[in-house]
A and B are shown apart, each in its own frame.
Chain A
């Protein structure tokens, strides 16, 4: 049996020729994401906002309206009630209550009492305002710190142009993934934050593979024009880039479809992020090297640096 070569061996797409189009597409997506982030904002889950979440299972299909009337009459502010995967599975969310931690406690007690013994409480979560604020802060720092550390690592291993270009691609992916959350309104909680950071790791992984090849070709093809060399590098790694993205996506799609409702938002973010990360490593990161005026170094210096790396 002849193995399938998904990407033809002699693939030669002139990616650099289209780089202006990619820049425009990416810029529009990034600006739109940032703009909507500040206008519409993320749909923060209780992890970051503070509040209460209760997942219940009812005998037979749940009567959402009756639940809404029942819990709405408690005077606890906005109560969001939605079906969660199955008709007899319901997710109830309450906004953060005015007042401190005790107020949240009292509200949770009121909700469980109002639900009575007819339903099974599958899960209940309560996050006080203090912890919510702290998680938001820690989440923000963890994104910033990992971006910084990755940039430092790339800087040590490559020229500065590579570091800037890879972090630009990384920011591109993170911002657009966040934009995806804004547009879809998928709840942004601790798990989805983990997904965003994984996207960051994956995106840089993809970019590094192409950059490694560029570095290799810079030494191998001394006379080639930089744009042609970049095209050649992207094309020779194209099979790997698509293969890895596909295997990862296959695993994630299985998780998305069968992994249960609780991690659906998380897997969706990963799937979207991996598609964007693949696009950016091919169409954004490498072409950016031209903009950053990547040059060949004097061969001796190059060798010395390689030995030290």
Chain B
């Protein structure tokens, strides 16, 4: 079957031509071709962060906080209804596993359970005796988490966009995680600073009955709480804590803009409320002249100025011992909005642009050198047939690049290693075939017969051998962490393309040669 139909030969050549066309943009300066179309050639391989430099961050949204807040609100709503029905009750500890209420008199339990059951749709009733527990069912739970993650994604996107880098990627991973990838970022600490904070800002009145120290000694007045003072000027003045009213007088949700600016030559942060927030802010500042207004950010008082005059028009500034960078970051966070729940940074990997460039160069050099070694070795071992295998090998590399460009797969440093490994392994199919041809010749078969038998009997071995390696590559891919995925991708693509180039392309080359020159002796 050394005979190729015209169609088959044309197909093989077409695949090779497509490979060259789609791989070509990688060898030309970027921007040579338009890249909008998804199928036309023109796209270059997507370099991973380890090769182009940049930051990768894995964040986890603290969904327990979201749940706890929601269950607290639900418990409050149920208790309000119970009070209207004159059912005496008390709340239990706030928890992320349900809204929990204890009914005080046993005869009310039945009625109370009915009220709790109907308080909100998609909830389930639990608890025993006097204790009532209301939990969200699977649908409501999912919806709640999904919404919190969606909001978080949006806020993270707004914050990262403010950094002004190109093509940041922000994606959800698993139930409550977010992966942020910012190519070309020099300073990961900046990313850390803006993603590590919830940025929930609220305005509270400072309590005017007691100081925090007095409250610590004599007990908290009802409806108040003690929060730490974060500002350096407060700490310099010996103020460690503030006693503030629990009630939020104006919420940060009403903020529409915030900018870093200067006041008396020092960096400050200006802010602007929407109409409702501005009205409330004007109202509070008119009625509470002389009292302190605590600006609370993520559970710390960042500033607590005295209200001297009503602030109308909805604009204000936050003063404090800010550096220019801190003022920039704070205004950025306020502009981008608060996260629905705190986030934790689980993993961070950053590569500077210099190292990325070095890695690309080292990888390219090693790949070319490995290629030269293998090419020479194949020619020494198989002569003319080695040349055919080498042509197939180079075609294989071109195909790998082409497939990666089309799929927009990401090339990482381990990915380059995968390609180099493919160079070594791709010739395996040809080695199998050529060794088989040698054997068949020794067994006395004619030239054409030997070549034919060589391809035919090596076929099942090539399949078995490649499929097992492919299994390992696919498991690696699904294992899924960035660098390993990159390795698995190039390995898997390399295995598949090598089956084409090593089997079909070499066969076409050899068939053409046999047809043209009708060799009487096979030197292999």
B-binding residues in A (CB < 8 A): 1-6, 9, 55, 57, 100-102, 105, 108-109, 112, 120-128, 130-131, 135, 138-139, 142, 145-146, 149-150, 153-154, 157, 190-191, 193-194, 197-198, 200-202, 204-206, 208-209, 212-213, 216, 236-237, 239-240, 243-244, 246-255, 257-260, 262-263, 266-267, 270
Query: In the bound complex, what is the Cα–Cα distance between A205 and B478 (angstroms)?
Result: 21
Q: Pick the contact of B468 from A126, A130, A139, A154 — CB < 8 Å?
A: A154
Q: Cβ of B417 and Cβ of A102 under 8 Å apart?
A: no
Instruction: Kindly report which residue of chain B lies nearest to residue A216, judged by CB atoms.
Output: B457
Find chain A residues with CB under 8 A from B413 CB: 260, 262-263
Find chain B residues with CB under 8 A from A257 CB: 366
* B378 in contact (CB, < 8 A): yes
Q: Cβ of A212 and Cβ of B468 under 8 Å apart?
A: no
Q: Pick the contact of B420 from A3, A9, A255 — CB < 8 Å?
A: A255
Given A3-B386, A259-B363, A252:B476 Cβ within 8 A: no
Find chain B residues with CB under 8 A from A157 CB: 464
User: At the interface with chain A, which of B92-100, B274-282, B352-360, B401-409?
Assistant: B352-360
Q: Which range holds the interface residue count of chain B?
A: 35 or more
Find chain A residues with CB under 8 A from B350 CB: 121, 123-125
Q: Cβ of B468 and Cβ of A240 under 8 Å apart?
A: no
Find chain B residues with CB under 8 A from A212 CB: 460-461, 464
Q: Cβ of B484 and Cβ of A198 under 8 Å apart?
A: no
Q: Cβ of A146 and Cβ of B347 under 8 Å apart?
A: no
Given A123-B352, A131-B347, A142-B476, A105:B192 Cβ within 8 A: yes
Given A3-B524, A263-B414, A250:B427 Cβ within 8 A: no
Instruction: Kindly report which residue of chain B lies nearest to residue A113, judged by CB atoms.
Output: B189
Within 8 A of A (CB), among B331-370: 344-352, 354-355, 358-359, 362-363, 365-367, 369-370
Q: Cβ of B378 and Cβ of A247 under 8 Å apart?
A: yes
Q: Pick the contact of B370 from A145, A205, A251 — CB < 8 Å?
A: A251
Q: Cβ of A194 and Cβ of B484 under 8 Å apart?
A: yes
| 6 pairs, A vs B, C-beta closer than 8 Å | A3-B524, A142-B478, A153-B467, A197-B476, A248-B424, A266-B414
- The 4 closest A-B CB pairs, nearest first, are A248-B424, A201-B472, A251-B370, A251-B424
What is the total of A-B residue contacts with beta carbons within 8 Å?
A: 233
Question: Closest CB of chain B to A152's CB: distance in Å?
Answer: 9
Q: Cβ of B481 and Cβ of A190 under 8 Å apart?
A: yes
* B523 in contact (CB, < 8 A): yes
Most buried by A among B58, B413, B435, B442: B435
Instruction: Kindly report which residue of chain A lies nearest to residue B348, judged by CB atoms.
Output: A126
Instruction: Kindly report which residue of chain B lies nearest to residue A309, judged by CB atoms.
Output: B460
Q: Is the interface of B mostly helix, strand, loop or mixed?
A: helix
Q: Cβ of B351 and Cβ of A122 under 8 Å apart?
A: yes
Question: Closest CB of chain A to B392's CB: distance in Å?
Answer: 13
Find chain B residues with CB under 8 A from A198 CB: 421, 472, 476, 487, 491
Given A105-B196, A262-B413, A194:B468 Cβ within 8 A: no
Given A131-B58, A263-B417, A247:B475 Cβ within 8 A: no
Find chain B residues with CB under 8 A from A105 CB: 192, 196, 345
Q: Pick the contact of B488 from A101, A194, A260, A267 — CB < 8 Å?
A: A194
Find chain A residues with CB under 8 A from B40 CB: none
Query: In the bound complex, what is the Cα–Cα distance between A212 and B463 (angstroms)?
Result: 11
Q: Mark B33-49 against chain A: 1 for CB-CB distance below 8 A, else 0.
A: 00000000000000000
Query: In the bound complex, what is the Cα–Cα distance between A279 and B476 (angstroms)?
Result: 25
Question: Closest CB of chain B to A282's CB: distance in Å?
Answer: 15
Instruction: Kindly report which residue of chain B lies nearest to residue A134, judged by CB atoms.
Output: B346
Query: In the bound complex, what is the Cα–Cα distance between A197 and B345 (angstroms)?
Result: 29
Q: Cβ of B373 and Cβ of A250 under 8 Å apart?
A: yes
Instruction: Kindly report which residue of chain A lies nearest to residue B347, judged by CB atoms.
Output: A131
Q: Mark B459-492 against chain A: 1 for CB-CB distance below 8 A, else 0.
A: 0110011111111110110111101100110010
Q: Cβ of B370 and Cβ of A254 under 8 Å apart?
A: yes
Question: Closest CB of chain A to B197's CB: distance in Å?
Answer: 12
Query: In the bound complex, what is the Cα–Cα distance between A258 and B62 (angstroms)?
Result: 44
Q: Mark B178-222 against chain A: 1 for CB-CB distance below 8 A, else 0.
A: 000000000011001000100000000000000000000000000
Q: Cβ of B358 and Cβ of A260 under 8 Å apart?
A: yes
Query: In the bound complex, what is the Cα–Cα distance between A202 and B471 (angstroms)?
Result: 11
Q: Cβ of B420 and Cβ of A150 under 8 Å apart?
A: no
Q: Pick the contact of B431 from A100, A149, A244, A266 — CB < 8 Å?
A: A244
Q: Cβ of A243 and Cβ of B435 under 8 Å apart?
A: yes
Most buried by B among A121, A135, A201, A250: A201
Q: Cβ of B345 and Cβ of A128 under 8 Å apart?
A: yes
Given A205-B465, A255-B417, A260-B362, A247:B431 Cβ within 8 A: yes
Q: Cβ of B383 and Cβ of A252 under 8 Å apart?
A: no
Within 8 A of A (CB), among B225-267: none
Q: Cβ of B346 and Cβ of A130 under 8 Å apart?
A: yes
Q: Cβ of B431 and Cβ of A240 under 8 Å apart?
A: yes
Most buried by B among A55, A125, A146: A146
Q: Cβ of B359 and Cβ of A262 under 8 Å apart?
A: yes
